[in-house]
């Protein structure tokens, strides 16, 4: 879990730097930094989504995933967790602790690098991919925390639990996930990241967490597709 440890360290470091700088930056500068990060996030998300090999798989994953997510009320659950942490640390009524925690957690945990890097780290001890991700996350944490505050620091817990779990379960997941499955997981994750970009740009406030089940639905559809073709060859 060396890669995950590095990632957690860069998120915390970037979050501390951003929190320290945030109060010293003019409001317009903070807003511009967030918009710049939003534009970059949108581009990265669309690039990932465009790598899908079958847009119908992506469509099915998103539709089924959001139905499951809405039923489980994942967004509400994450927001409640963020609000409890906000209350625990006695942040103000208009604090952005919850938003910083949820937004940063989704950005840092959703994507191909988190999955592939954790698998590589668990299977062979190769943490190069996670090291690259760590650098990117560190700079993103600076930008996020400069605008959203110290709640971004709490996302380090999400990174540790998510990537650490994948690393520990790597041997089993490697036998289950095919390259095609990982491609579609990445594509679905790309759409979620693009949605985060829209939110950061204040274009649309999408309940992004409710789309998270799409990451689990995508590989299931890939696995069932050959069976469907054999049953209905037309």
3-state SS, residue 153: helix
How many domains does the chain divide into?
Answer: 1
- Per-residue pLDDT band at 171 (split at 50, 70, 90): low
* Residue 154 CB neighbours (<10 A): 23
Burial 80-101, CB ≥16 within 10 A → b, else e: ebbeebbeeeebeeebbbbbbb
Cα-Cα-Cα-Cα torsion 146, 147, 151, 152, nearest 10 degrees, comes to -60
Give the domain extent around 75. Answer: 2-231
Contact 122, 172 (CB under 8 A): no
Tell me the C-alpha distance between 53 and 167, whole Å: 26
pLDDT single digits (tens) 182-231: 889 888 888 887 887 888 788 888 888 888 899 889 999 999 988 877 77
pLDDT single digits (tens) 59-112: 999 999 999 999 998 888 877 876 676 666 555 545 677 778 877 887 788 766
* Residue 61: predicted pLDDT: 95
Q: How far is CA 72 from CA 36, 79, 135, 210, in A?
A: 33, 13, 33, 8
Q: What is the pTM of this model?
A: 0.73
Tell me the C-alpha distance between 97 and 116, whole Å: 29
Q: Which residues contact 152 (CB under 8 A, 6 or more apart)?
A: 11, 15, 18, 19, 100, 101, 103, 104, 141, 144, 145
């Amino acid at each position: 879990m060396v890669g995950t440890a590095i990632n957690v360290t860069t998120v915390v470091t970037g979050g501390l730097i951003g929190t320290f700088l945030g109060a010293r930056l003019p409001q317009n500068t903070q807003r511009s930094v967030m918009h710049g990060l939003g534009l970059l996030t949108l581009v990265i998300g669309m690039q990932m989504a465009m790598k899908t090999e079958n847009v119908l798989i992506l469509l099915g994953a998103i539709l089924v995933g959001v139905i499951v997510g809405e039923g489980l009320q994942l967004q509400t659950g994450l927001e409640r967790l963020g609000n409890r942490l906000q209350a625990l640390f006695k942040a103000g009524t208009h604090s952005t602790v919850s938003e910083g925690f949820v937004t940063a957690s989704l950005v840092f945990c959703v994507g191909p690098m988190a999955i592939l890097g954790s698998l590589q780290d668990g299977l062979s001890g190769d943490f190069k991919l996670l090291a690259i991700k760590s650098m990117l996350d560190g700079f993103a944490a600076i930008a996020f925390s400069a605008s959203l505050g110290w709640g971004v620091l709490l996302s380090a817990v999400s990174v540790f639990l998510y990537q650490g779990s994948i690393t520990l379960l790597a041997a089993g997941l490697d036998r289950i996930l095919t390259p095609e499955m990982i491609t579609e997981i990445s594509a679905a994750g790309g759409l979620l990241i693009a949605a985060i970009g829209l939110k950061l740009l204040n274009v649309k406030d999408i309940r992004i967490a409710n789309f998270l089940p799409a990451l689990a639905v995508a590989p299931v559809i890939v696995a069932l597709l050959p069976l469907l073709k054999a049953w209905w060859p037309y």
